[in-house]
Chains A and B, each alone.
Chain A
Amino acid sequence: MARRDPGAAVVLSPWLVVSAGSWSQVSGMQDGPEDPVTRGVDAREGMAELRRLIRAEAARGPTDHAGVAGQLHGLCAALVRVLPATGAGVSLWGSGGIGGGIAAHAGPGTKELEELQFTLGEGPCIEACSTRRVVLEPDLSGRGTRRWPGYGPAASAAGAGAVFAFPLGAGSACVGSLDVYQAAEGSLPPAALRQGFWFAEIALELVLNGQSLAAPGALPPGLDDALAYRLEVYQAQGMITVDLGVSLAEAMLRLRAYAFAVNRPVSDVAHDIVDGRLRLDRDPERVDNEVRGLEEREDREDPDALDGLDGSDGSHG
């Protein structure tokens, strides 16, 4: 048999299918010279070793990381030790690009890098999840910037040189991504890329095992807590739909545009909106005024200055 069909590997090693199968195939990935059988044995042993490392890291982690979140934290910590990576994070995404939040992260600045994509509404993890393909960007400041005009420069400025995002999902649904960051530019070596696939497969397994234990309609308990931090963003989004009389999608765009304009994380801006200290105006031009208002506030450190930001003057509804 001259052909080296991935199907052959599937037949002989069923646990390879998620990483080697069509679901999350890397486009243009070179088929290695190894025999599919050898490769399958490698995968089984390699993944068993990674699972051991993940358990050890999870046991070392903070005790407030319960359940799935703790396991994912262990996974990110193990990944940073095993791969040539400076950071790793697992973000969850609902359907239609609705961000569920960061479930776990490890490495300096990783949380900020993960949140950046949510703030900007674009980036490798969102792309990996929506296309259900692995996204490899070894050159964030160059090609990455042309690919994601907002995220590329922002992630470079935050210290990332390269990013690799592995989708977490089965069938047509994607629940999130495993994101690997490197401070230096450059591709992942083939062996590291394979391990990345294994980490992603284990991450999905951990998340789905948690889900199988969750109450009907609910998230796994540990994950629920890990994602709670972002709930204010969605409350603020709902508020903006009423304040501005716009759709949910536009409300999120306005929220993001505002956060970008004032250079603050979306979650901070959302917090002010939910607290009633900030109200976006119907007139987009007023954003400039709001920005100026914020700058003044920062200058004066006077919380009362925020009153002036309530541009709608209660004229909503």
Chain B
Amino acid sequence: MIAIEKLAEVFVEVADTLVDDFDVIEFLEVLTQRTAQVSLSSAAGLVLSDPRGHLQFVAASRESVHLLELFQLQNDQGPCLDCFRSGRPVVNGDLDGSEARDRWPSFADRAIELGFRSVHAFPLRHQGVVIGAMNLFSSEVGRLDESDARVVQALADVATIGILQERTIRAKEVLTEQLQAALVSRITIEQAKGALARSWNVDVDAAFTALRDYARTHHLRLSELAHVVVTDPGRHPGLTRPS
């Protein structure tokens, strides 16, 4: 049975990592370690799907699990992959049992070699979409009871929320920066048009044509050239100084 007091501590610790300067890898490392501890497993590991649907290793509470996760991915067999594909947890997989040996023969051998006897896998899922899976390994043929399994699934859900949160924020950041860059480059081009129009005593349309032609001839990006024109006009005297 998972101890309630320990669990409360884990939730508080995990919630703390979700605030300022959120580092998703650090968050997942803490989460896998704590999940292994509260579930009395020896170790835990986490894999996530990339945008093309391929699983990638993300975090492990210790190095042997890192290797096992990679082994599953490379050999395309193991409880993590089953769980990811079905979206359902794999609980109490006896590595020496016939079922495990049938389903994941090389994985079971490898895991036993590394000292493990049982394995569990829980999906990271959100609104019907599975984004990854969390594996637990134990050196004994322990039995996670139903309520334990629910608790571990809850911790996997916390991982899911943290990951999606970070993805949403990062996607927003990228778009925000793109919008800002587009704004600034548009404004800079207008400033350069104005400066060239005055230097050459022409209208702004003619200035823009001159700017664009110069950029083409010299293989420069329009917005970068515009930036130089208004900040350091001496660098392109052929453009900025009337003959």
CB-based contact A170/B197 at 8 Å: no
CB-based contact A100/B190 at 8 Å: no
A240 to B191, CA, bound (A): 10
Query: In whole Å, how far is A39's beta carbon from the nearest beta carbon of chain B?
Result: 15
Task: Name the B residues within 8 Å of A224 (CB-CB).
Answer: 186
Chain A interface bracket (under 10, 10 to 19, 20 to 34, 35 or more):
35 or more
8 A Cβ contacts from A172-188 to B: 172-175
Task: Using known A-B contacts A171-B173, A235-B193, A274-B204, determine if residue A94 contacts B12 with beta carbons closer than 8 Å.
Answer: no
Task: Name the A residues within 8 Å of B170 (CB-CB).
Answer: 171
Q: Which of B15, B183, B192 sits near A100, CB closer than 8 Å?
A: B183
CB-based contact A175/B180 at 8 Å: yes
A6 to B11, CA, bound (A): 13
Instruction: Determine if A191 is an interface residue (Cβ-Cβ < 8 Å).
Output: no
Task: Name the A residues within 8 Å of B231 (CB-CB).
Answer: 248
Q: Which of A1, A10, A239 sits near B197, CB closer than 8 Å?
A: A239
Instruction: Determine if B102 is an interface residue (Cβ-Cβ < 8 Å).
Output: no
Stretch of A72-80, A139-147, A209-217 with 4 or more beta carbons under 8 angstroms from chain B: A209-217
Interchain pairs with CB closer than 8 A, number: 148
Query: In whole Å, how far is A285's beta carbon from the nearest beta carbon of chain B?
Result: 22
CB-based contact B16/A5 at 8 Å: yes
Stretch of B32-40, B44-52, B138-146, B158-166 with 4 or more beta carbons under 8 angstroms from chain A: B158-166
8 A Cβ contacts from B162-201 to A: 164-165, 168-170, 172-173, 175-188, 190-199
Q: Which of A6, A100, A242 sits near B198, CB closer than 8 Å?
A: A242
Q: Which of A17, A173, A208, A316 sits near B165, CB closer than 8 Å?
A: A17
A241 to B175, CA, bound (A): 32
Query: In whole Å, how far is A59's beta carbon from the nearest beta carbon of chain B?
Result: 25
Task: Using known A-B contacts A8-B15, A10-B165, A98-B187, determine if residue A239 contacts B172 with beta carbons closer than 8 Å.
Answer: no
Query: In whole Å, how far is B26's beta carbon from the nearest beta carbon of chain A?
Result: 14
A217 to B172, CA, bound (A): 16
A236 to B193, CA, bound (A): 9
CB-based contact B184/A95 at 8 Å: yes
A8 and chain B: residue at smallest CB distance: B15
Q: Which of B176, B184, B230 sits near A241, CB closer than 8 Å?
A: B230
Instruction: Determine if B19 is an interface residue (Cβ-Cβ < 8 Å).
Output: yes
Instruction: Determine if B242 is an interface residue (Cβ-Cβ < 8 Å).
Output: yes
A11 to B173, CA, bound (A): 20
Task: Using known A-B contacts A170-B169, A171-B169, A317-B199, determine if residue A95 contacts B180 with beta carbons closer than 8 Å.
Answer: yes
Task: Using known A-B contacts A1-B8, A211-B178, A235-B194, determine if residue A7 contacts B15 with beta carbons closer than 8 Å.
Answer: yes
Task: Name the B residues within 8 Å of A217 (CB-CB).
Answer: 181-182, 185, 223
Task: Using known A-B contacts A169-B176, A317-B199, determine if residue A5 contacts B182 with beta carbons closer than 8 Å.
Answer: no
Task: Using known A-B contacts A208-B172, A241-B195, determine if residue A94 contacts B230 with beta carbons closer than 8 Å.
Answer: no
Task: Using known A-B contacts A235-B194, A248-B231, A274-B204, determine if residue A218 contacts B182 with beta carbons closer than 8 Å.
Answer: yes
**Inter-chain pairs besides A5-B15, A219-B186, A239-B195, 18 sampled, C-beta below 8 Å:** A5-B19, A7-B19, A11-B11, A21-B19, A92-B183, A100-B183, A170-B175, A171-B170, A171-B173, A174-B176, A208-B172, A208-B179, A219-B182, A235-B197, A238-B191, A239-B194, A241-B194, A274-B194
